[in-house]
Amino acid sequence: MVLVSSHGEKDGGNDGAVFDFRGNLADKSKSGGWLGAGLALGVELSERVCVMGISMNLVTYLVQDLHISSAKSANIVTNFMGTLNLLGLLGGFLADAKLGRYLTVAISATITAIGVILLTLATTIPSMRPPHCDDYRNLHHQCIEVNGKQLALLYAALYTIALGGGGIKSNVSGFGSDQFDVLDPREERAMIFFFNRFYFGISIGSLFAVIVLVYVQDNVGRGWGYGISAVTMVIAVLILLCGTPFYRFKKPRGSPLTVIWRVILLAWKKRSHPYPSHPSLLNKYQEATVPHTQKFKCLDKAAIVEDYIATGENKNNPWIVSTVTEVEEVKMVLKLIPIWSTCILFWTIYSQMTTFTIEQATFMKRNIGSFVIPSGSFSTFLFISILLFTSLNEKFFVPLARKLTHKPQGITSLQRIGVGLIFSMGAMVAAAVVEKQRREFAIHENTMISAFWLVPQFFLVGAGEAFAYVGQLEFFIREAPDKMKSMSTGLFLSTLSMGFFVSSLLVSLVDKVTKKSWLRSNLTKGKLDNFYWLLAVLGLMNFVVFLILSSRHQYKEQHFIVLDDSGEKELKSSNDVAAEKLEEKIAIETMEGP
């Protein structure tokens, strides 16, 4: 049996031919696998060190050093994180359309390193900060707030990092998964664990950031903390480049956005045309690498072959008539949107761990003996929880689910997302209860409770992220069309982006509606617990919608054109192809003997 890709090339994978760095067909024994994936993921680990080292402690710098209000500081952080993840769409587009994943990652990592160097300068140069003042917590403080000119370099640095980080995030996971052949049973099994180990690795980077870098920033100097991040990113770029001979490369197939726009435009132009009597009359139905479906049937009109194009070159002009494969790929993307919309609120809740929860810690006892723990370092419990549950997923939950369901993936991606949403709701309930208790002790007994009371909300959000992040990443990569893998990762990252932007919007709305009575720089005079209860209620409503939408989702089954023994083309599912390969392997081993 010979496998033929959608471009007509013979290969062993579903994304087209796989090449080495010289442009020749890749030798699986000398490239890819865990070595190639591991070297590539070093860049994502370094990016996580940089971004977590910034986002988890930036709000304290903005409030304490630049004298910006808590609500405004929270929005600066969430807008930065939102933009970073939104730019993942741009990075994914460039990789799929022109540059390829490898080159996009290398360029993006270099841009990130430049951005962190600029941030080091912005937080080190004295003229970039207002005069020192200790009265910043009072509502009517006399501290001089940072001005626009002083913020210019800080914003330039943050959004340069966002530009580079978006390109890294949207392509590293896809480039890593390119190192595995999904039709090789052993490599397919390895790729199932790839997303878990991918997230475990970058969580290690996050843990280093919140323990080591946050301490260095608070106790040695911001410049030293960000300088270490810059050096880390430069080293990661060098490692990525040195690993070039060990990677498997897949060539970009053109802009996926062009295909989406073209299909929708043609479907609109032909909206008055009647549907053909049978789908087989649609353009290139027999050659489709994706089976025809009835969902979003209106898009089928883009593949209607009109009389004047039934013959000649017009039939091959994509701006005149689409193919069934192109139409079905656009349908795949549209099927992701409902689930995409219900993933946003998880990241709105998560964003509180980088803003108001860190601010809570500054109003609580943070000392162990004479040592005072930096408020940003309490995020350690978030990443410990992520590491713990990521390990439990791989070692316990997935194997158990495999035995119960008899399916290779065990827990489905949507089930992972659902579990993550439940944990996030629990986190907001815990956060509201703790904040109310903290404020009552501060007002009635004039004392501070221990910051370790924040551990439950960090722990619950971390557990939720271990499920939700891996589930969303797997869902968007595996369910999207193969030629749009990087863009689909960007689509996943846009849920993070929208989550942070929704957080900014909610903070602004709550601040306006409550006339600044809930969210104050002095949290003891505010009502932050009410804001947490609001998020818990929104989370419950979102979870109900998610259950409805996920119950209606049909998972994608990958299909391939194969040549049978007589040379005829036949469309087969990935499960059938993998099963036949496995049978061939067993037969060969049986003939060869022990």
Secondary structure of residue 21 in the 3-state scheme = coil
| 175 & 81 share domain | yes
- Distance (Å, rounded) from C-alpha 79 to C-alpha 269? 38
At 249, the pLDDT band (50, 70, 90 cuts) reads confident
- Distance (Å, rounded) from C-alpha 192 to C-alpha 401? 13
Domain C-terminal end among 327, 352, 385: 327
Q: Say if 565 falls within a structural domain.
A: no
Radius of gyration of the chain from Cα atoms? 26
Q: Say if 393 falls within a structural domain.
A: no
pTM for this entry: 0.70
How far from chain centre, in Å, is Cα 87?
11
Say which residue, 48 or 317, is predicted with more confidence: 48
What local confidence, expressed as pLDDT, does residue 289 receive? 77
User: Which CA distances in Å does 414 have to 240, 420, 428?
Assistant: 32, 10, 22
Contacts of 497 (CB under 8 A, 6+ apart): 81, 82, 83, 84, 85, 86, 88
Output phi, psi for 355, to 5 deg: -125, -85
* Side chain identity, residue 125: I
- Residues 366/373, Cβ–Cβ less than 8 Å: yes
Contacts of 577 (CB under 8 A, 6+ apart): 1, 3, 183, 560, 562
Q: Say if 165 falls within a structural domain.
A: yes
What local confidence, expressed as pLDDT, does residue 182 receive? 65
| 177 & 266 share domain | no
- Distance (Å, rounded) from C-alpha 37 to C-alpha 538? 38
Burial of 233 (0-12, 13-18, 19+ CB in 10 A): buried
- Residues 492/473, Cβ–Cβ less than 8 Å: yes
- Residues 260/333, Cβ–Cβ less than 8 Å: yes
- Distance (Å, rounded) from C-alpha 94 to C-alpha 391? 34
Q: Residue 57 is inside which H or E element, if any?
A: helix 33-64
- Residues 39/240, Cβ–Cβ less than 8 Å: yes
| 199 & 321 share domain | no
Burial of 553 (0-12, 13-18, 19+ CB in 10 A): middle
pLDDT at 422 over 50: yes
C-alpha dihedral, 415 to 416 to 419 to 421, nearest 10°: -110
| 200 & 278 share domain | no
At 135, the pLDDT band (50, 70, 90 cuts) reads low
Contacts of 64 (CB under 8 A, 6+ apart): 136
pLDDT at 576 over 80: no
pLDDT digits (tens, 9 = 90+) for 173-222: 778 777 777 667 677 667 767 777 777 777 788 888 888 888 888 888 88
Q: How many domains does the chain have?
A: 2
| 27 & 143 share domain | yes
pLDDT at 107 over 80: yes
- Distance (Å, rounded) from C-alpha 538 to C-alpha 66? 33
Question: Which segment, 79-88, 400-409, 572-581, is predicted with the most confidence on average?
Answer: 79-88
| 236 & 287 share domain | no
pLDDT at 541 over 90: yes
pLDDT at 408 over 90: no
The two most distant CA atoms of the chain are separated, in Å, by: 86
At 40, the pLDDT band (50, 70, 90 cuts) reads confident
- Residues 303/267, Cβ–Cβ less than 8 Å: no
Q: Say if 487 falls within a structural domain.
A: no
Q: Which two tokens stand for residue 439?
A: 């404020």
pLDDT digits (tens, 9 = 90+) for 367-399: 887 788 888 788 888 888 888 887 787 677 777
- Residues 451/378, Cβ–Cβ less than 8 Å: yes
- Distance (Å, rounded) from C-alpha 375 to C-alpha 363? 9
Domain C-terminal end among 221, 254, 287: 254
Q: Say if 280 falls within a structural domain.
A: yes
Contacts of 261 (CB under 8 A, 6+ apart): none
Helix residue ranges per DSSP H, 352-412: 356-362, 380-392, 398-405
What local confidence, expressed as pLDDT, does residue 555 receive? 72
What local confidence, expressed as pLDDT, does residue 346 receive? 93
| 283 & 248 share domain | no
- Distance (Å, rounded) from C-alpha 196 to C-alpha 400? 16
Q: Say if 457 falls within a structural domain.
A: no
Q: Residue 574 is inside which H or E element, if any?
A: helix 574-592
Q: Say if 132 falls within a structural domain.
A: yes
Q: Say if 472 falls within a structural domain.
A: no
| 35 & 180 share domain | yes
What local confidence, expressed as pLDDT, does residue 428 receive? 93
- Residues 379/196, Cβ–Cβ less than 8 Å: no
What local confidence, expressed as pLDDT, does residue 590 receive? 46
DSSP secondary-structure letter at 25?
A: B
Secondary structure of residue 571 in the 3-state scheme = strand
| 133 & 209 share domain | yes
| 110 & 181 share domain | yes
- Distance (Å, rounded) from C-alpha 63 to C-alpha 376? 13
| 49 & 37 share domain | yes
Burial of 219 (0-12, 13-18, 19+ CB in 10 A): exposed
Domain C-terminal end among 269, 302, 327: 327
- Distance (Å, rounded) from C-alpha 14 to C-alpha 12? 7
**CATH (domain of 126):** 1.20.1250.20
| 302 & 164 share domain | no
What local confidence, expressed as pLDDT, does residue 424 receive? 93
DSSP secondary-structure letter at 249?
A: B
What local confidence, expressed as pLDDT, does residue 8 receive? 37
Contacts of 315 (CB under 8 A, 6+ apart): 283, 305, 309, 321
pLDDT digits (tens, 9 = 90+) for 152-187: 888 999 999 999 988 888 788 778 777 777 667 677
- Distance (Å, rounded) from C-alpha 136 to C-alpha 83? 28
- Residues 493/166, Cβ–Cβ less than 8 Å: yes
pLDDT digits (tens, 9 = 90+) for 436-479: 888 888 888 888 888 888 889 999 998 998 888 888 888 887 78
Q: Which domain holds residue 35?
A: 17-254
What is the 3-state composition of the chain as percent helix, strand, coil, each rounded to the nearest 5?
A: 70, 5, 25
Say which residue, 12 or 532, is predicted with more confidence: 532
